[in-house]
A = this chain, B = another copy of it.
Amino acid sequence: MGLEYVKISPGFEKYMPRDYVDLVTFGQFGKQVDVMQLGQFKELVEEHPMCAGCYMAYFIRVFYAALPNPEDTIVLGTAGCARLALSQAAVPFIYGNYGDTNAVASGLKRALSIRFPDKVKDVVVIAGDGGLMDIGFGMTMHSWFRREKFTTIMVDNEVYGNTGGQESGMSPKGIQLKMAPKGKQFDKINAVELAQTAGCVYVARISPTNPKRIAKVIRRAILAAREFGPTFIHAYTSCNIEYSIPTREVLADARAREKKDFKFYEWMTDEVKEYLEEIERKEKEKAKQEVQK
């Protein structure tokens, strides 16, 4: 981790695979990319074995483009669809046992702070509704109670997609799934409200229809976690397989849910608001100056 880890040893440039040379030359390391430039730079994750039309895969692609410091970031995931792409990325990845991600992330973030007292290392958990809100619920919430300084992103596909379609606590009430034939009996868990109660300093709920907004939310969550405490993003990332959404309608579904129960929501403490506004103001100024040059 660190920029020196993405510098090829002199003499070895011509022995590296093209993918890696491109990452170093045209990638995001050490730069600030705009998510709207996707396709104009070498991305941190490209090929992966997720299903065609998977909205979670799209979200993860935007996630990597949005990282403020990919060279100083460690991503944690667990069993589930997301990690199939996460483990393929050019960012260090740790696989937590199911439910353990936020406990592992707590220890990791603390260890990094001790080992590198003068550097910022970002720790980001990306896991599904099952890993974070069902089986890992206690560890997730307790990492927030303890005010651990890392970001948790729940990619919520509202189902155990990898094991045949069992309902999760995040499945909507009444929904019938392949392994929930009687329909879910109770309400979708209000993860965002729980995160606020538990002490997250920045909380957002998003249906990822607007890449610029996704990137902004991810960036804000990571920056706020560095300074103030736990941050949480609840992202709707449909399972087109288990919910039988035709590939071409995946985006339409995300838009429909955004109008219904996944309306964009963003909350932060006053000090986080002040901090982020200051950073964003400076960035805008800097951008303006660069344009003027």
Contacts and interface: CB of A to CB of B under 8 A. Distances in A.
Nearest to A136: B138
A137 interface: yes
A185 interface: yes
B193 A146 contact: no
A40 interface: no
B145 A187 contact: yes
Interface in A259-274: none
B197 A197 contact: yes
Interface in A155-199: 169, 185-187, 189-190, 193-194, 197-199
The 4 A-B residue pairs with the shortest CB-CB distance in the complex, in nearest-first order: A138-B138, A137-B138, A146-B186, A193-B197
Number of chain copies forming the complex: 2
A135 interface: yes
A141 interface: yes
Nearest to A187: B199
A186 B138 contact: no
**Residue among A136, A139, A145, A186 with the most chain B CB within 10 A?**
A145
A242 interface: no
A121 B134 CA distance: 28
27 contacts: A134-B138, A134-B142, A135-B138, A136-B138, A137-B137, A137-B138, A137-B141, A137-B142, A138-B138, A138-B139, A138-B141, A142-B169, A145-B169, A145-B186, A145-B189, A146-B185, A146-B186, A147-B185, A147-B186, A187-B199, A189-B198, A190-B197, A193-B197, A194-B194, A194-B197, A194-B198, A197-B197
**Residue among A135, A138, A185 with the most chain B CB within 10 A?**
A138
Contacts of A187: 145, 199
Interface in A195-214: 197-199
A95 B32 CA distance: 56
